Amino acid sequence: MGINLNPFTWWNGASWGTILGLRGKRQVGEDSLGNTYWEGGRDTAGNPRRWVIYSGANDASRVPPEWFSWLHHQVDGTPDQNLPPPRQWQKPAVPNLTGTALAYRPQGALEKGGHRASATGDYEAWSPDA
């Protein structure tokens, strides 16, 4: 997006109003996707306000689980301070792929040709006389 569209395209990153609203706030971290996380001020319950500035499309599924827990006050400190390092068997977080070419499509889906496997012999249709 060009700089001229930034005030009008809130769905493709932070608008000018959001950027101006960050004055006096503290950036607490950045994730592997380039999203930045901020803290500052208090909400009506007295908790610190926390939010994310997306790098790219504004899609909540692009927030990794460890930062999700920080955003929702499940942990007090940032993930690198409070959480153990990721285990070797853990996979990296993946954004929601619905609507993309990489989305899951079951065997009988129209996008995969629409052909399902034939029913096996263990299926018996319901009959009102039975």
Domain boundaries, the chain: 10-112
Q: Helix or strand or coil: residue 73?
A: coil
Report pLDDT digits (tens) over 107-120: 888 887 777 777 67
Residue from 53, 77, 56, 79 nearest 66 by CA? 79
Please report where in the chains the tokens 């609203």 appear, as a residue.
Answer: 21
The helix or strand, by DSSP H or E, that contains position 71, with its residue range, turns out to be helix 65-71
Residue 85 has pLDDT above 60, yes or no: yes
Which pLDDT value is given to residue 1?
45
Integer angstrom CA distances of residue 76 from 26, 35, 98: 15, 19, 32
**Maximum CA extent, the chain:** 76
Tell me the whole-structure pTM to 2 decimals.
0.65
Report pLDDT digits (tens) over 11-24: 566 666 677 777 88
d(CA 130, CA 81): 65
Residue 9 has pLDDT above 70, yes or no: no
Residue 67 in contact with residue 39, Cβ under 8 Å?
A: no
